[in-house]
């Protein structure tokens, strides 16, 4: 039985989006690397409603927003990413969401061109990258963090 589904963001998701982007643990490796202020969270939510960059991951049973997953073009490069509300961590949702989104993306783009940056101390994302067969590329620094670019390894 499927636990999650992908959908578009809705106005009724606002409280759950704020829960996500205002949680310092969730935001530790995302965006500005800190929880967003109320004004920033509102701007981010409005931007995602009008110009979505990633798909919403939601529970099948209640349609509750778990987080976001997908591809965004950053500086001309298709970057893959995901982020989930803290209460949904360590339950396998990230793995399921990434696999679903990659299957969908594979229908329209060459997913071997996707990249992602993972900070060296983001051990959960490194473990997920290994599980999903992402290979470590060059070492680099982003937002003051040491890490690596990863690329999906298609066999």
- Output the domain CATH number for residue 96: 3.40.630.30
Place of tokens 């290994």: 130
Range of the domain at 118: 4-152
Please give the helix or strand (H or E) that residue 100 lies within, else none.
Answer: helix 93-105
Q: Which residues are 118's β-sheet partners?
A: 148
Q: Please state the domain count of the chain.
A: 1
* 66 within 8 A of 26, measured Cβ to Cβ: no
What tens-digit pLDDT sequence spans the chain (155 residues)? 799 999 999 999 999 999 999 999 999 999 899 999 999 999 999 999 999 889 999 999 999 999 999 999 888 888 999 999 999 999 999 999 999 999 999 999 999 889 999 999 999 999 999 999 999 998 999 888 999 999 998 76
Listed in sequence order, the residues at least 6 apart from 79 whose beta carbon sits closer than 8 Å to its beta carbon are: 71, 72, 73, 114, 115, 116, 117
Cα separation, 57 vs 54, in Å, equals 9
Torsion from C-alpha of 33, 34, 35, 40, nearest 10 degrees:
-80
């Amino acid at each position: 039985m499927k636990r999650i589904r992908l959908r578009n963001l809705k106005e009724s998701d606002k409280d759950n989006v704020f829960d996500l982007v205002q949680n310092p643990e969730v935001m530790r490796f995302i965006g500005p690397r800190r929880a967003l202020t109320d004004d920033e969270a509102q701007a981010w939510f409005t931007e995602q409603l009008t110009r979505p960059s990633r798909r919403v991951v939601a529970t099948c049973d209640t349609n509750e927003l778990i987080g976001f997953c997908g591809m965004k073009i950053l500086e001309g490069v298709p970057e893959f990413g995901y982020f989930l509300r803290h209460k949904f961590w360590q339950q396998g949702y990230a793995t399921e969401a990434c696999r679903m989104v990659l299957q969908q993306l594979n229908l329209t783009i060459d997913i071997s061109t996707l990249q992602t940056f993972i900070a060296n101390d983001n051990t959960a994302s490194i473990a997920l990258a290994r599980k999903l067969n992402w290979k470590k590329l060059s070492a680099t620094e982003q937002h003051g963090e040491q890490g690596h670019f990863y690329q999906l390894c298609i066999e």
